Amino acid sequence: MPTRADEIRRYHSDYFSFVGADAQGAVYLAHDNNRGQTGDRFFADHWIMMYAQGQGVVPIIGSAHYPNPGKILETIPDSAHFQFRGTVGGGMRMVSAVNDIDMAVEGLTPILRRQTQGDDYWIGAAPSTLRWKGRQLAGRVIFEFIARTGYNRFTSDFGANWSNFNGLYLLTEDGRDLYLRYHERVQPGTPRESGMATFDGEGPLSDIAFAIDESRPTPDRTYRWPTRWQAGFSHRGTRWTLHATTDALEEVADWKTGGFAMSVVSGEVVRADGSGRRRFKGWAELLI
């Protein structure tokens, strides 16, 4: 009989970060779909946050753990509240009748990818359409995929993976994508800063210099929430500077020494020589 140390542990995650708009304003949807295995136990959950301009945070039914009797890891198992059709590479559709959500995402391929023994991590982006409560919002999805062996988030210490994680998932005014992440704990195959962009051509970012310019205190806690950022980076031979600020912040979890929050942010990226700029809006994911 295998010991606890010998148990198979695996973890997969498909994370969709949507930003889109119609005549009524912008809508933001973060939809994380996780599966895990420890021994003969299989797990699944959705973690979801939605924000609508002029309304604020939108309550979503089904952001929770759910059964995984099919022992599915490679794809997203359906839950009682969300069903999935298609494939990541060929195009996907996510439907939730109870939330009146129907999101279609075109085929995704890696733009930034890191593969180590037993682990795979990649970021891609594609056009997307969100139908929600009679509205049809054209936008984009930044997609983040994680597959790990020897680890299962459902039965491991999740907080131990990150320290001061800041992930920016941004849509530019010309309908392109910018992704930047920074965290202080360096893991094998995971640099402190990384990112990708799809404006002026697709590709990973290089020479990233990430800084938190402002933060706000958390009552009765020692940690602070970042609220303003600046970052320099190079993309396809051009140097850019990012300036981002928080428009709304929603605290999600608190584990006393740190916490999890999602922020709606906006700002601009400016060419180093001053010859051009792009405004943007999007999500900031914070694990502090």
Which residue, 278, 142, 91, 138, is CA-closest to 200?
A: 278
> Does 163 have pLDDT greater than 90?
no
- For the stretch 168-217, pLDDT in tens is 999 999 999 999 999 987 665 567 899 999 999 999 999 999 999 999 99
- Which residue type is seen at 68? N
Show the CA angle centred on residue 91, arms to residues 124 and 27, nearest 5°: 70
Q: Are 17 and 282 in contact (CB under 8 A)?
A: yes
Which is more confident, 126 or 159? 126
Q: Which of 11-20, 142-151, 157-166, 245-254 shows the lowest mean pLDDT across its residues?
A: 157-166
Please give the model's pTM, rounded to 2 decimal places: 0.95
pLDDT band at 1 (very low <50, low <70, confident <90, very high): very low
Q: Which residues contact 90 (CB under 8 A, 6 or more apart)?
A: 107
Q: Is the dihedral of CA 158, 285, 142, 139 positive or negative?
A: positive
- For the stretch 226-256, pLDDT in tens is 999 999 999 999 999 999 999 999 999 998 9
CB atoms within 10 A of CB 115: 12
CA 271 – CA 12 distance, rounded (Å): 37
Residue 3: DSSP 8-state:
-
The domains located in the chain, with CATH, are 1-156 (2.40.370), 159-288 (2.40.370.10)
Residue identified by tokens 């980076």 is 233
State how beta strands 277-287 and 238-254 pair: unpaired
